[in-house]
């Protein structure tokens, strides 16, 4: 947690006038809106330039670490999205996590799992 806030503070301070667009007006997840406030820019995830498609997950990993470093809670279905027998930790975060629309877990294409903390 401390590491994330340090990275976030550094990113916010490095935001320049060239990154003019703010998050205002674009739907964001509550957790990121709260964490970033109105000061952060699209570039925090999308990199420089006008965003046109989903970002690479380099930014996600820069703040959160790789999937194998993010434990999910045990569930009665015995399914672990960040460490499945099928994919290990090889998937991009944005395969499942969206930002501007509801997220959709790939696992649920084939399995019925009720997640308790999927955002």
- Assess 2 for contact with ligand HEC (CB under 6 A): no
Among 15, 19, 54, 56, binds ligand HEC (CB under 6 A): 54
Q: Is 70 in the site for ligand HEC (CB under 6 A)?
A: yes
Q: Is 19 in the site for ligand HEC (CB under 6 A)?
A: no
Short-list 64, 61, 60, 44, CA closest to 4: 64
Size of the site for ligand HEC (CB under 6 A): 61
Which residues lie closer than 8 Å to 89 by C-beta, 6 or more apart? 66, 67, 68, 82, 83
**Among positions 13, 18, 86, 112, the unique one binding ligand HEC when judged by CB under 6 A:** 86
3-state secondary structure of 48: coil
Distances (CA, A) of 13 to 29, 80, 83: 22, 36, 34
Q: In the stretch 98-117, what mask flags binding to ligand HEC with x, by CB under 6 A? A: xxxx---xxx-xxx---xxx
Residue 20 interacting with ligand HEC (CB under 6 A): no
């Amino acid at each position: 947690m401390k590491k994330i806030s340090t990275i976030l503070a550094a990113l916010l301070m490095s935001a320049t006038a060239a990154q003019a667009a703010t998050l205002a007006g674009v739907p964001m997840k509550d957790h990121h809106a709260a964490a970033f406030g109105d000061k952060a820019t699209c570039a925090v995830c999308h990199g420089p330039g006008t965003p046109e498609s989903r970002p690479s997950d380099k930014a996600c990993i820069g703040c959160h670490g790789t999937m194998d470093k993010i434990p999910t809670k045990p569930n009665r279905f015995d399914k672990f999205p960040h460490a499945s027998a099928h994919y290990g930790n090889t998937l991009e975060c944005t395969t499942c996590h969206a930002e501007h629309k509801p997220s959709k877990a790939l696992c649920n294409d084939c399995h019925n799992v009720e997640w308790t903390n999927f955002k």
